[in-house]
Amino acid sequence: MAGAKLVLGYATGTVSVISDGFHSLTDSASNVLGIVGLRASRMPPDADHPYGHRKYETLAAGGIFIFLLFAVVEVGRAAFDRLQGGSAPNVTAMSFVVMLATLAINLVVVRYERRQAKRLTSELLLADAMHTTSDVYTSCAVLASLAGVRLGFPAMDSIGGLVVAVFIARTGWAIARDTSRVLSDTVVLAEDNIREVVMGVPEVIGCHHIRSRGSLDHTFLDLHVWLPRDMPLHEAHRLSHVVKDRLMAKYPQIADAIIHIEPPP
């Protein structure tokens, strides 16, 4: 679909179609890099990566952001050049055929991905379905701009290109925001929620120094739990595992939880 749009766009000089082609290309790049990153992230921990390889997925997302940045620059430059007096695009019946065909394919993809996301309980597929939905909206905007050009308003082509650039920039911002949260070790799980689970374990007096990091679906947690001073070590150790098991049952996204036992202050 990306190839069809880009070939058509450059052949007819239609900025809005070129922009939508870049948008589709970002979808393709997102999927390819996502597969590569996901495959790398599934490798088990080793001596050099004791926490696993999940951040390869984050690095892949960073690569997608850079690609989106170049796409926005290219699309914006082409749209502004056209607004400043470039030649009018050559909108033909084939332009509408290609755009309608790719729109129909995207609608099928969105429906299929949403169905599979529910079946597999996959946040990744659901997110990609939402991303592809934005491609549907941009294709509709491009069709509207093509219709405007055909009716004698050539400026609609540049406006359509800028609309697509906004969609690409919005996607890039969301990716940059999410990757920065992972790389900067932003808190993932709220302390109060963790404390509520921990305090539900009998004989636990309190907890503090609660820290979480990682991604929403692969989180690392550590905290200090207060237990009675006269409790035998083997019993304190057993209770720490009860705390850990309850936390991981409540939050399946926890990859590992480290419980430090200590007497209350």
Task: Check residue 74 and give its pLDDT.
Answer: 77
- Under the banding of pLDDT at 50, 70 and 90, the label for residue 66 is confident
Asked if pLDDT for residue 105 goes beyond 80, the answer is: yes
Give the mean pLDDT of 71-85.
77
- Given a contact cutoff of 8 angstroms between Cβ atoms, the answer to whether 17 and 8 are in contact is yes
Which of the residue ranges 9-18, 29-38, 73-82, 149-158 would you say has the lowest mean pLDDT? 29-38
Asked if pLDDT for residue 181 goes beyond 80, the answer is: yes
- Given a contact cutoff of 8 angstroms between Cβ atoms, the answer to whether 156 and 148 are in contact is yes
Task: Check residue 70 and give its pLDDT.
Answer: 81
Task: Check residue 189 and give its pLDDT.
Answer: 94
Task: Check residue 207 and give its pLDDT.
Answer: 95
Asked if pLDDT for residue 124 goes beyond 90, the answer is: no
- Given a contact cutoff of 8 angstroms between Cβ atoms, the answer to whether 161 and 146 are in contact is no
Asked if pLDDT for residue 91 goes beyond 70, the answer is: yes
Task: Check residue 228 and give its pLDDT.
Answer: 94
- Under the banding of pLDDT at 50, 70 and 90, the label for residue 221 is very high
Cα–Cα distance between 120 and 114 in angstroms, integer?
10
Pairing of strands 206-215, 254-262: unpaired
Q: What is the pLDDT of residues 42-51, one digit of tens each?
A: 788 888 888 8
Q: Percentage of residues in the chain with pLDDT exceeding 70?
A: 95
Rg (CA), the chain: 25
Q: What is the pLDDT of residues 227-245, one digit of tens each?
A: 999 999 999 999 999 999 9
* Structure letter (DSSP) for residue 43: S
Asked if pLDDT for residue 85 goes beyond 80, the answer is: no
Q: How many CB atoms lie within 10 A of CB 111?
A: 12
| Domain ranges (residues) in the chain | 2-183, 191-262
Asked if pLDDT for residue 36 goes beyond 80, the answer is: no
- Under the banding of pLDDT at 50, 70 and 90, the label for residue 122 is low
Q: Percentage of residues in the chain with pLDDT exceeding 90?
A: 30
* Structure letter (DSSP) for residue 204: -
* H or E segment to which residue 257 belongs: strand 254-262
Beta strands of 154-194 (E only): which ranges? none
Task: Check residue 121 and give its pLDDT.
Answer: 67
Homologous superfamily assigned to 2-183: Cation efflux protein transmembrane domain (1.20.1510.10)
- Given a contact cutoff of 8 angstroms between Cβ atoms, the answer to whether 221 and 191 are in contact is no
For the chain, give me the number of helices (H) and strands (E)?
8, 3
More confident residue, 14 or 134: 14
User: Which of 6-20, 65-79, 195-209 holds the top average pLDDT?
Assistant: 195-209
Asked if pLDDT for residue 86 goes beyond 70, the answer is: no
Residue 56's contacts (CB-CB under 8 Å, 6 or more residues apart) are: 37, 40, 41
Homologous superfamily assigned to 191-262: Cation efflux protein, cytoplasmic domain (3.30.70.1350)
- Under the banding of pLDDT at 50, 70 and 90, the label for residue 159 is confident
* Per-residue b or e along 160-184, where b marks 16 or more CB atoms closer than 10 Å to that residue's CB: bbbbbbebbbebbeebbebbebbee
- Which own/partner contact pairs does 152-157 have at CB distance under 8 Å and 24+ positions apart? 154/88, 154/89, 155/83, 156/16, 157/14, 157/15, 157/16, 157/82, 157/88, 157/89, 157/91
* Per-residue b or e along 77-94, where b marks 16 or more CB atoms closer than 10 Å to that residue's CB: ebbeebbeebeebebeee
